[in-house]
Amino acid sequence: MAATAKSLASCIFCKIIKGEIPSYKLIETELSFSFLDIGPLAKGHALVIPKYHAEKLHELPDEYLADALPVAKKIALAQGVTNYNILQNNGRIAHQLVDHVHFHIIPKPSDSEEEGLVIGWPTQEIPKDELAQYYEELKGKL
């Protein structure tokens, strides 16, 4: 889905990239922009946003993806913590709040549930025959 002029004009991240909204900029490259999150889950929580406006990961050109993760890595190293999360959500039911691809770098400085990302991981048991069938379907599409 291509970005419309209206979506670009109203996108908070596009406004941050253009300097229309101030930010605590960390690293800027030709293709990426990163800054501290103003509603952090932990001290140092940062965002990396591609300068290309795409709502979801699969809509983003590969060169922007190739640029964003090294920026995230540099920020994770600079945070100086051993444990951290890199998070990227796609769609409202997947907890995406801003309709512009972005990566969160979230330090997990301690075992505390008070700092960093707190998630559940509700695993499921899938019968092996169903898993094998889905594997074949997915492999055929790749």
Query: CB-side exposure of 34: number of CA atoms within 13 Å?
Result: 24
Interacting residues of 15 by C-beta distance below 8 A, sequence separation 6+: 21
Active site residue 53: no
- DSSP 8-state assignment for residue 125: -
Helix (H) or strand (E) holding 20: none
Q: How far apart are CA 16 and CA 23, in angstroms?
A: 7
Q: How far apart are CA 58 and CA 49, in angstroms?
A: 14
* Active-site annotation, residues: 102
